[in-house]
Homo-oligomer: A and B are copies of this chain.
Amino acid sequence: MSGEGGSGSRERPLSVVAISIGNELLDGRTADTNLGFAARALGAMGLRIARHATIGDDRAGIRTALEREWAAGTDLVLLSGGLGPTADDVTREALADLAGVALIEDRAVLERLAARYARIGRAFTGVARRQALLPEGVDQLPNPVGLAPGLWLEREGRVIAALPGVPAEFQAILREGILPRLGRMAGSHATRSVALRTMGIPEAELADRIAGLAIDWTGIELAYLPHSGGVDLRLVATGGAEIEARLAAAEAAIAKCFGTDVYGRGEVTIEEVVGNLLRDRGLTLAVAESCTGGMVSARLTRVPGSSDYFRGGIIAYANEAKERLLGVPGALIGAKGAVSEEVALAMAQGAREKLGADVALAVTGIAGPGGGSQEKPVGLVHIAFAGGAKAFARRLFLPASRDLIRERSTLLALDLLRRELESPAG
């Protein structure tokens, strides 16, 4: 079913298939985020997920799917879900069926479970004990953030790894239990990767400019990963020790080419980068928002410890609020309109003063679907910075849905602040 089926020329060491288990995924209650997380984590090791299936809480169905993968020669099947305590969690049973072994109660797991239940003051019932039942001979993958361990079933060099479906547990076990083992399985096909996160340059322009760089691509693969906040560049290198220097040279050449258009490396977010810059420089921040309605502040405060630098925000949605809370002159709004460079600047200055912050950011725009005009269409957004003796604004035109206009305005406002904080004069 996958692209790899037809060609024997792939040099990848391992073939991988992901299977998610749970009725809640098939009836629309829950969105599956584990596939994407696993794909990115494995991708960083140079491994691809060849295909993915979602199946219900069905013991025979899970077994059949696994048998099919073993017959197909899949090296790694990554199972997600069905390891909880209730009767519809049947992944353990399906694995035991497949391996032809019994489920036995693991004493160590049982004791950890009993202790955990005692600590949170809940009765350790027969249902809860089910999580200590493991297929005989299976390896355990410790669960640092939950109750049920992950399972690692290996036969003739092929592996079925079963992880809990709860995203935090899935991610922790993948990172701490699966990836190191895969690194060992891959052996001499060791891979290293770097991800450079860019904002402000379209994918096609990135590709054009990278094509013009003198980079030795031997053993290195480049992928473009666009998302609403920009485009990530992922470099994956496969080979021996000599690959290290080549990968570092490629990364350096790209980083030099794009300069401050690269806002970070790996999984770091723009709000974390901004937060670190503010903390390093000992600066406090205030925000004034209109069309984004709190989204800039909500993002900044997602970061634990953001109270170190974030003073607060003012969402001046009504024009009157812009006057009362930010001191924007009513005459200025009347003359230039609430969505104007001048009002954006006045909002930033006002937020800075009212909140007693070192620097401030402001956003005002027309998110639609109503409220646009020929002169000021839906998607017109002004973002402004104020700090020290400096204040400036930038005009954006982002024609899209209301949600996307707000999302992109939020990210580009944060990026404006980042660039200013990173600039030598900033």
Residues of A within 8 A of B (CB): 1-3, 5-6, 23, 25-33, 35-40, 43, 48-58, 60-61, 64-65, 168, 223, 225-227, 287, 289, 291-298, 300-302, 304-307, 310-318, 320-321, 324-325, 354-356, 368-370, 401-403, 406
Cβ contact within 8 Å between A294 and B315: yes
Docked pose: A199 CA to B227 CA in angstroms: 33
Cβ contact within 8 Å between A370 and B305: yes
If A307-B317, A311-B318 touch, does A1 touch B48 (CB 8 Å cutoff)? Answer: no
If A2-B58, A53-B51, A298-B292 touch, does A325 touch B325 (CB 8 Å cutoff)? Answer: yes
Cβ contact within 8 Å between B317 and A314: no
Minimum Cβ distance to chain B for residue A11 (Å): 17
Docked pose: A293 CA to B285 CA in angstroms: 13
Minimum Cβ distance to chain B for residue A92 (Å): 18
Cβ contact within 8 Å between B304 and A325: no
Docked pose: A291 CA to B302 CA in angstroms: 9
- Residue from B43, B60, B304 in contact with A28 in the complex, judged by beta carbons closer than 8 Å: B43
If A293-B298, A403-B302 touch, does A314 touch B311 (CB 8 Å cutoff)? Answer: no
The 21 sampled A-B contact pairs (Cβ below 8 Å) are A1-B65, A2-B55, A3-B23, A3-B58, A5-B58, A5-B60, A6-B58, A26-B51, A27-B223, A28-B38, A32-B35, A53-B53, A53-B54, A294-B295, A298-B298, A307-B317, A307-B318, A311-B317, A312-B325, A313-B317, A324-B355
